[in-house]
Amino acid sequence: MPHYIKVSQTASTNTYLSRLAATLPGGTVIYTPCQTAGRGQKGNSWESEDGKNLTFSMLLKRPPVKARDQFCLSEAAAVAVVEALSAEGGDGFTVKWPNDVYWRDKKVCGMLIENSLDGTAIATCIIGIGINVNQQRFVSDAPNPVSLAGITGREHDLEPLLKRVCSRIEQLVSTLGDEAARGQLHGQYMAALYRNDGKLHPFEDAAGNRFMAGIAAIAPDGTLTLQHADGTRRDYLFKQVRHVINNTVL
C-alpha cells in the first residue's frame, strides 16, 4: 500500500521527494496543498491554486521493469489517472502522448517522470503528477487548462482521488514483470490515446513544419510512429513532434 506524507508547502514535490528518496521506502507519496514551483515537461512550470488541486509525487524503487521498457511506467501512471478521472467525471478523458491527460481538447493533468538507472535496471522512479481538480480560474499563459470541477460543475474531495490514483499506479506497476501484463497495459494506453482514431490530425515537428498525420504505433520506449498523409511512416521521439490544436502547438 502507498505511504502518504503531506507537507504544508514545497517548491516541487518531485524535488522534495528526490532529496529524501534514499531514506524512504518505495510507495511513498509526497503531496501538498501548496506547490510554489511545480515542474512540468520541457522545463514548463505548473500552475496550481493553493488547496484546490492535487500536486504529488510517488516513489517507486526497483520497479519490475528493465530500463529499455521504462515507458511502461509512464503508461501505468497515465492509465491510472484516466481511470480515476473517468470514474469522477465521465467520458472524454484521454492521454496525449506521452503522458498528459486531456478532457476533449483541454489539459486536466500533467506529469513529470524522472528515472535513475542502475545498469539495465531502474533504481528509482519518481512520478510527479499535477491534476486540476477544483480550480476554476487559471491565470498563467497555458493555452488550454481545465479542471475536474469545471467539467462536472461541482467540487471533488482531493484525498480520495489521490489515493485512488496512487493505489492504481501501484497495482499496475506490480504486474509489469510479466510480458503479457505489459502488453495488456499498452493496449489500455493505446485505447485511451488522444486522437488515436484512424484519422489525420495536424502536427508540428521540431523545425516548425506542420503536417497532417495519424497515429500508427507507440514503441515500448515511447517512440511515436506517425503515418503521414502520403502514406509514409516516420518515428518521433519526445520533443521532436507536437500536436496542433486550434492552430496552437501543444
47 has pLDDT over 90: no
Residue 14: what pLDDT? 95
pLDDT of residue 38: 67
Name the grid cell of 223. 517512440
What is the per-residue pLDDT for 44? 57
- Banded pLDDT at 49 (limits 50, 70, 90): confident
**pLDDT tens digit sequence for 75-99:** 999 999 999 999 999 999 999 999 9
How confident is residue 45, by pLDDT bands cut at 50, 70 and 90?
low
- Model confidence pLDDT, tens digit, residues 7-33: 999 999 999 999 999 999 999 999 999
Please state the CATH superfamily assignment of the domain spanning residues 3-191 in this structure.
Bira Bifunctional Protein; Domain 2 (3.30.930.10)
- Contact 241/212 with Cβ under 8 angstroms? no
Looking up cell 516516420 gives 234
- Contact predicate 110/46, CB 8 Å: yes
Q: Report domain extents, the chain.
A: 3-191, 201-249
C-alpha cell read off for 93: 478523458
Q: Report the relative pairing of strands 224-228 and 210-218 from DSSP bridges.
A: antiparallel
CATH second-level architecture of 201-249? Roll (2.30)
* Contact partners, residue 193, CB within 8 Å, separation at least 6: 94, 95, 96, 97, 215, 218
State residue 127's pLDDT score: 98
pLDDT, tens digit, 9 for 90 and up, residues 206-223: 999 999 999 999 998 999
**Amino acid code (one letter) for 1:** M
Burial zone of 61 (CB within 10 Å; 0-12 exposed, 13-18 middle, 19+ buried): middle
